[in-house]
Chain A
């Protein structure tokens, strides 16, 4: 995977795919924040004061990160944001699986609470997180040599 992303076209394709998916997910939630808030509530992780704020903020944040990823603007920050988001989603889904809670992921619109769907959502989330991780690591490695001042070994004359 690391070698694959060395290829500029593959890296761009993965970036667009990830960005496209997050734009779609953001738009679906943005259109119906109440339905997304209902999905968040099924996780039973947040107090009522936090649910609607998250339902309002997350779609805007997702769309912003996804657009900046697609247009290649502040790419590293966007990838780190997506990576962190997928980690938080994975934690929430894993906790639902552990508690045997039928939740409605709400990731790409609401589909009603379901235990079996939790595994599908978790798998998809980990896959997206994996892609974000590989792309972020690649972007990070690419950014480092250009900024690092390389100090060469000092030649010391042996006595």
Chain B
């Protein structure tokens, strides 16, 4: 009886080891498959990227640096075309405003309103009369609105983005200051605060 028990416990131990082996084997197989899939996905992602217009560079460039590069290109193009850019004054900065002030300016139409969000969001809804000057496509958008913006760099310009936590409005405002605009306002609450206050919105057709 004793020997029978001892054999049984050994077999139980053997079965446990076998089960552990099976678990490791199954998880190992899953991990191996996953590794193959991950490699295939990386190859596919690189191919897809080459099909993009323009492809994403393989080294990251920060938002701030990309915007600075865009501003430099705008300055270069203006140098060539007009040779007429007023230099940004050392004291010129943007000013943050709240909803009541922004609303008043929009209603009185005394301000050029600029939407710094990506264009897709602008299409879905924006502050009445706002022009899309997205942070991401600053160079192209600025070229589009040059005729509206450049006649007077002394005019009031107000920039907003999606919400108080987004940085795009401040970044675009700083870029405009660098381009010589003297009265740049930032509506910090952005689209989020505007819609929460149930104020009128406009949609692009």
Contacts and interface: CB of A to CB of B under 8 A. Distances in A.
B162 A112 contact: yes
B75 to A, nearest CB: 23
B48 A60 contact: yes
Nearest to A33: B56
A57 B42 contact: yes
B144 to A, nearest CB: 20
A18 to B, nearest CB: 16
A52 B27 contact: no
Interface in B59-76: 59-63
Interface range for B: 35 or more
Interface of B is mostly: helix
Contact of B136 (A34, A48, A61): A34
Given A77-B37, A143-B26, A158-B1, A153 B11 contact: yes
B95 interface: no
Contact of B26 (A48, A60, A64, A140): A140
Nearest to A64: B41
Interface string A37-70: 1100100000011011101110111001100000
Interface of B: 1, 3-4, 7-8, 11, 14-15, 18-19, 22-23, 26-27, 30-31, 33-34, 37-38, 40-42, 44-46, 48-49, 52, 56-63, 118, 136, 161-163, 165-167
